[in-house]
Each structure stands twice: as C-alpha cells, then as structure tokens.
Structure 1
Amino acid sequence: MPRQALRVRQALRVIPRDGVAQSPSAAPAAAATPAPVSLPKRRRDARIDVLRGIALVMIFVNHVPGTVFEYATSRNFGFSDAAEGFVFLSGLSAVLAYAGGLAARPLWPGVRRIWKRAWTLYLVHLMVTFWALAIVAATLRYGGTGTLFGKDNFQFLVSDPIGVLVGLPVLGHQFGYVNILPLYAALLLAAPAMIMAAVRWPRATLAASVVLWAAAGLTHFDLPNLPLPGGWFFNPFAWQFLFVLGILTGVAMKRGARFVPVNRGLALAAGAYLLLALAWLKWPALQAGGNAMLGWAAAQGVPNLIRDFDKTYVSVPRLLHFLSLAYVLSVLPWLRAVCDSRPMAPLALLGRHALPVFALGTILSFAVRAAKEIAGEAPFAFDAMLIGSGIAAMLVFAAVLELSRKAGMAPARAA
C-alpha cells in the first residue's frame, strides 16, 4: 500500500461511525482487548435539525413570491438567504453521516453509500421537476393566465421542446425553483474525496476550495445549460465552497472541537457586518450610497465577484453575510438549549427528514402559486391559508416519516 494512502486511512480512523474521537494508535490496543468495548454515541446536535428545518420553511415561503410572508424570511434582513444555509448544513451532515464509512476498509462501500444518495437526489429531482411541470401545465389549461408557464424556463417548452426534453434528464435544463437538488447531487459525487481530504489536510482543502470558488467567480466557468446558453443557476464550482466549509465544520465537530475558534473580536466583526447588511436593506439613504459606491467600484474594474450580490457565484457580500450569520449563531451560548426545547421540536422534525420534506415543499409551492394565479387578486387571508396549509402538510408528512422510521427500528415481536 502506498505510504500516503496509508496516512489518509489512519487519519480517517479518528472519525469512526459512532462519532467518538479515537486516535490511530489506539486501534491495536483495542484489538488486543479480549472483551469488546462499547463506545457511547455522540448525542445528535439539535441545532443542525432545527436550523435546517427553518431553512426548509423559508425556502417554501420564498418559492411563493408575492406574499407578505416573504418579508419574514432571512433574505429580507441580509444579503444571503436560506440556500446558503441549506448547502452548508448539507456538507456538515454529509460528514456526520458518511465519514465513518470512509474510515472503514475496503473503501468502496463507504463511497458507494454516498453515491447512492446522490442517485436518490437525482431521482427525486426528476420527480419534483415533472410534478412542477404538470402543475404549471394544468394551470395554463384549466383557468390560469399563463404567467407560470411564461417564466422560470418553462416557456422554452414551446420554443424548443426537443432541446428541453434532452436537457431535463441530463440536468442541462432546470426550471426555476427546482434547481438546488442537482447542485446537491453534484457535490455528493465529489463528497468522498472532499471528506477524506478535509480529514487529512483541512487547511489545504480549505485553500483549494477558496481557489476554485474564486476561479469560478472571476472566469464564470460553469456546468453547461442545454438547450440554453450559459450555465447552472447554482454553479457547483462556486457553491462547493459552502459545502466544503460545512464538511470542515463537521470534521471538527466529530473530533469534539470547532473549525473556527470562539473569538470575541471575530464575533463582534461578524455582528457588525450583519447590522450593516440589515441597515443597507432597510435604510434607503444608505442603500443608495452603497449602490453608488459599488457602481464606482465597477467603473474602476473591480470584479463582479467582489462587488456584486450574485447568487450563482456566491459573491463576496453574500458569502460574508452567511459566514457572519453562521459564526454568530455558532457562538451563541443559549442556542443549543433553545433548539433542544419542546417548541422547536416541529422544526427539528422537518430537519431530520430534509430531502422528502424539501421535495414536498417544492411541489406544494407550485400548487400554491397555481392557486394564486387562478384566483387572481386575493386577500391576505387567502395567502395565509395557502402558506399555512403548505407548512402544515410538510409537518404532517415529516411526522409520518418519523413514525415509519421508528416503527422500522422497533424490534420485531415474537410470533
């Protein structure tokens, strides 16, 4: 076995399946012990589930534009939105779920498990895509105005149906609001290498990720669209940075540490940037002055990546806002207790079943938009009923999934 590969395997052994840190040198001694030792499992961190549940609710609300409920989501209080949190938490969760399998040998079963999940994401994406297409087409056919069908890349079904039919299964054509799962699937394909690199060489992994993010933002290289020009809305070469940051955070958590230490000055700087972003959005005079400054920077040739609020390439203002928010949340001493509390249990339930809940929420968001288009101008109560019913359906769905999971884990009764 090559010496370098052996070192990587030894490093991965500090992250066993149960999440308890163990040094590589402890393995021979454990093997020599006649009686097996039962290691305690690390308690599930409720913050991950609750924050992911909040992101799922906000994504659902934001996928129904034009309601007052949008004003309560994070994108109205800063430069980033729930998508950054969703991708970061996906990277963190990938470590917690799969790092133990990558520490075992042979390596292929651990890799296969991750790639099987990526395949599941692909299939779920296709299912959600065709449900969205069915809802949009039915809206046009049965009383809608054609508004839904005329945007978000659905309109190309009329102008270039053959190209769209080719592009859909190869992920080259993605409808609006149905385009984050391809990103997640692509990142999971690279996740085995990312996780192993993060375990063995965390700083080098971070540096490589930053370089790739910057290169994508400066040169605008992307995975291709089909049949349209351009690239994916969620550029994987840019968004991998948030995924890798989640992975590095997860690796540190598995070792009982922090990837970024607690620092009072850093926390104050992060909090100040969050307040600046909030003031920028809510104070017209500051926003006008800030935009004028960014316009001046553009005239001086400052790259878009530095001065823009572009979502495709996770430009610097968006990135700094999310990193500031994530850091502030991570250092709040009371957040863990709040997330462990009973009132947060419904959000934690959503977060534990993120993929099926996300899929249902996306389909429901199209159904709500269809209902709003057919109904026309509707009062606040109508929007509240639709949004509330959608969130309630997501919660009921997650509860059914949880009951099914617990039933599957229960020991079979004797006949």
Structure 2
Amino acid sequence: MPDPMPGASVRDARLDVLRGLALVMIFINHVPNTAWEGWTSRNFGFSDAAEGFVFMSGLAAGLAYSGGFRRASLWPAITRVWGRAWALILVHMTVTVIALGLTGAAVLWWGLPGMAEINNVPPLLADPLAGFLGLALLSHQLGYMNILPLYAVLLAVTPALLWAALRAPLALIAVSVLVWLVAGSLRIAPPTYPTESIWFFNPLSWQLLFVLGLASGTAMKQGRRLVPVRRRLVALSAVVVLGIMVWALWDDLGARLNAGMFALRDTWLPDFLFDYDKTFVSGPRLLHFLALAYLLSALPIVRRACAHRAAWPLAVLGRHGLTVFALGTVLAFAGQAVKLAGLRVGLDRDLALDTAILIAGLGLQLAVAMVRERAAGRQR
C-alpha cells in the first residue's frame, strides 16, 4: 500500500528500512526471555513483525517480478520466481542443518541438555528416520524456522497470483479473503509429520497478507497506489492503532475488552475472528496490521525518516533480507544456548548478558549485509 515509486529505477527506502526493522525485531523475539523482547512491536498491538515480513515479501515480489508477466513470453518470468522459491528451500535446509549442529554442540560439548528439549527437536530424537523425512518434506520445522517454508510455498504459486493481480486485482483479493475465511473457520491447514499437528504459519491463512502485499507491489510498479491516501482512512487507521495499543498496554481495560471479545468467540461466529491465533491470522491481528501498514504508508514523516541517513543500517539489513534472516536464525540458536548457559550461573534476564547477545548478533548480521552491499555495488 505504499506510494508509487517515482520511477522504475528508484527504490522506495521505506520497504528496505521497515523490512530491516522487522528483521531486527524477529531476531530479538527468536532469542526468547531477554530483557529487550518487551520492546518489540508485538507488545504494543495484536500483530508482530511476522505479519510485516510476509506482507513486505509479497510487496517485494510484486515489484520485482510483475514486469516480467506483462510480456508475451511468460516462461522466463515464471522460472525466475520458481528459482527464487527453490533458493529459499535450499537456504531453509542449510539453516536447519546448521541449527541442529549447534544444538548437538550445545548438548555434547557445552553440557546444555536443555537445547535438545526445545525448538521442536525432541521428535527428531524420538524417531530420527521419520524426523528426517519430515524435514525433507518441510512438514517438520524447527522452532523459529517456520517463515521460509511458508515463503517458498507462496512463491511457488506467485506466477498465478501475479497473472491475476495484473488483470483483476480486486477479484484476486476477494478470493484471497474467501480462502482466509474458509481456512480459519474450518481450521484447514497443511499437516505436520511425524508429529500430528499443523503448520505454525498456515499458508492458506497467511496467503492473504502476501496477496495484499503482492497487489500493492504490482500497483506500485505501475506508478499508483492500491489504496489511495484519504484523510478519513488515515484518521481511522490512527484511531485503530492507538486504541489497540491502549488495549494491549492497559491491563485492566485489556482484560475487560478481551472478555467481551472472547464472549463473541464463543457464539456461532467463527472463533478465529475473535482471538489472537497466529496460525490462522486471526481477525484482531489482521485488523491491527492493516491499520498499521496503511498508516505507515500514508504518513509523510515515515517516508522522510526512512530516507534519512540514520536509517541506513536498517536499509542495508532490509536489502539483503534473506541473508540476514538466515544468519539471524542461526545466531538466535546460538543466543539461546548462551542464555541456557547463563541460567546455570543465575543470569536469568540479565540486562548485560541479553544486551551483549543481541548487539553481537545484530552486529554480525549488519557486517555480513554490508559485505553483500559492497559486493552488489561492485557488480553494478
């Protein structure tokens, strides 16, 4: 939903900066129980950085690939999208193996058996052969490693989505909303194996955020907005965002509002519309994210802040999102091991230790992103 870019060669700084900010918050949340996780976006509303990451992934796909689907020959454009999807799968598999290696090292070399009891590792130890098959099929995902399989599945169907977005964007969004409603109402989601559960990020539900981003990116590529800036919409979005922030931060008021919302959930209405379920992108989460996304895209101050040189580190992280996310996932596992080691000496939510873990992890991610940035500059 951001404003159109001035030209095809101009990159909107907001996409890079906001994606970089989402990656920072994802990393912080993936090293749980730190003193800093209370300051990430999920504590000030119903949605979190995951919604932003998926939406902006769709936005980036619309910007990057929609031009190829306006040509007579579609096969080169299709193979380009599928090549990216395959790259995501390879990155996911690589990161999974490294994370399992870190888990093994933490248990065998550093005496931290607790690492084998978290992150969905126990099913692999209980039945390794079934676990290996589940990993290969993407039906068994380690903890905090659920986004890339979702992203790969969504990219696999992106050619069809782009074809529809270029011809009938409103119809595409209507179908996407219908799929979201049916999946949430009937609890339809891909199963996991060997554990009997469902995908944490249900593609049938999360596709709505991706499609909205894809339609927005396709519109931006054509020099227009999917949803125009209107003062009333800006005011309404601000009221929703601020109201939900008060709801989330004011415990007594939040408890009363939750009680009223859960009463609606217990009626004949679809329950996922009135809870905080992340798997099915519940109604409150979706409402909060859409209001926040529209507000950020419409306010001029956001554009100016993202274009400021002080936002450059976030922009670099955002421009190399896949590399940063993969490295951040591995470093988060290492950070979890350090946290477990700290618990043995009584350092639970220790500000100094938590700060050191996060600064070291984010610093390494920024350093790698800067190397990638310089290499990309030399290629250009």
Q: How high is the TM-score relative to the length of structure 2?
A: 0.95
- Quick one: which of 106, 112, 115 aligns to 1:139? 106
1:210-239 CA distance string (max 9 Å, x none): 001111101111112111112211000100
| Alpha carbons of structure 1 residues 216 and 144: separation in structure 2 relative to 1, 3 Å | farther
State how many pairs are aligned.
373
Q: CA deviation at 1:361?
A: 0.5
| Alpha carbons of structure 1 residues 67 and 20: separation in structure 2 relative to 1, 3 Å | closer
Identity %: 48
| Alpha carbons of structure 1 residues 113 and 138: separation in structure 2 relative to 1, 3 Å | same
Q: Tell me which residue corresponds to 1:367.
A: 334
Aligned mates of 2:56, 2:265 — CA distance in 1: 33
**Aligned residue runs from structure 1 range 20-99, under 5 A:** 41-99=8-66
1:82-135 CA distance string (max 9 Å, x none): 000000000110011111222223211110000000000000000111111111
1:264-288 CA distance string (max 9 Å, x none): 2222221122122211221111121
Q: Does 1:225 align with 2:214?
A: no
Aligned mates of 2:258, 2:319 — CA distance in 1: 40
Q: Tell me which residue corresponds to 2:364.
A: 393
**Aligned residue runs from structure 1 range 181-220, under 5 A:** 181-220=148-187
Aligned mates of 1:279, 1:231 — CA distance in 2: 33
Q: Tell me which residue corresponds to 1:292.
A: 259
Q: CA deviation at 1:364?
A: 0.4
Would you say the 8 A contact 2:68–2:77 is kept in 1? yes
Q: Tell me which residue corresponds to 2:354.
A: 383
Q: Does 1:129 align with 2:100?
A: no
Q: Does 1:167 align with 2:134?
A: yes
Q: Does 1:404 align with 2:371?
A: no
Q: Tell me which residue corresponds to 2:309.
A: 342
Would you say the 8 A contact 1:144–1:373 is kept in 2? no
Aligned mates of 2:302, 2:265 — CA distance in 1: 40
Give the partner amino acid of 1:100.
G
Q: Does 1:354 align with 2:321?
A: yes
Aligned mates of 2:97, 2:213 — CA distance in 1: 30
Give the partner amino acid of 1:319.
L
Q: Does 1:333 align with 2:300?
A: yes
Q: Tell me which residue corresponds to 1:116.
A: 83
Q: CA deviation at 1:365?
A: 0.6
Would you say the 8 A contact 1:139–1:374 is kept in 2? no
Give the partner amino acid of 1:314.
V
Aligned mates of 1:274, 1:68 — CA distance in 2: 25
| Alpha carbons of structure 1 residues 373 and 20: separation in structure 2 relative to 1, 3 Å | closer
Would you say the 8 A contact 1:144–1:370 is kept in 2? no
Aligned mates of 1:294, 1:146 — CA distance in 2: 41
Aligned mates of 1:46, 1:253 — CA distance in 2: 13
Aligned mates of 2:263, 2:154 — CA distance in 1: 36
Q: CA deviation at 1:137?
A: 1.9
Q: Give the secondary structure class of the aligned counterpart of 2:136.
A: coil
Q: CA deviation at 1:380?
A: 1.3
Shift >4 Å, 4+ stretches? none
Q: Give the secondary structure class of the aligned counterpart of 2:36.
A: helix
Q: Give the secondary structure class of the aligned counterpart of 2:278.
A: coil
Q: Tell me which residue corresponds to 1:25.
A: none
Give the partner amino acid of 2:372.
L
Give the partner amino acid of 2:19.
R
Q: Which runs of 5+ in 2 are unaligned?
A: none
Q: CA deviation at 1:20?
A: 9.1
Q: Does 1:247 align with 2:218?
A: no
- Quick one: which of 112, 119, 132 aligns to 1:152? 119
**Aligned residue runs from structure 1 range 291-330, under 5 A:** 291-330=258-297
Aligned mates of 2:171, 2:213 — CA distance in 1: 15
Would you say the 8 A contact 2:66–2:221 is kept in 1? no
Q: Which has the higher contact order (CA 8 A, sep 6+)?
A: 2
Aligned mates of 2:168, 2:83 — CA distance in 1: 26
Which protein shows a greater Rg? Answer: 1
Aligned mates of 1:42, 1:72 — CA distance in 2: 35
Q: Which runs of 5+ in 1 are unaligned?
A: 1-18, 22-39, 410-415
Aligned mates of 2:181, 2:8 — CA distance in 1: 38
Aligned mates of 1:138, 1:401 — CA distance in 2: 29
Would you say the 8 A contact 1:47–1:339 is kept in 2? yes
**Aligned residue runs from structure 1 range 251-290, under 5 A:** 251-290=218-257
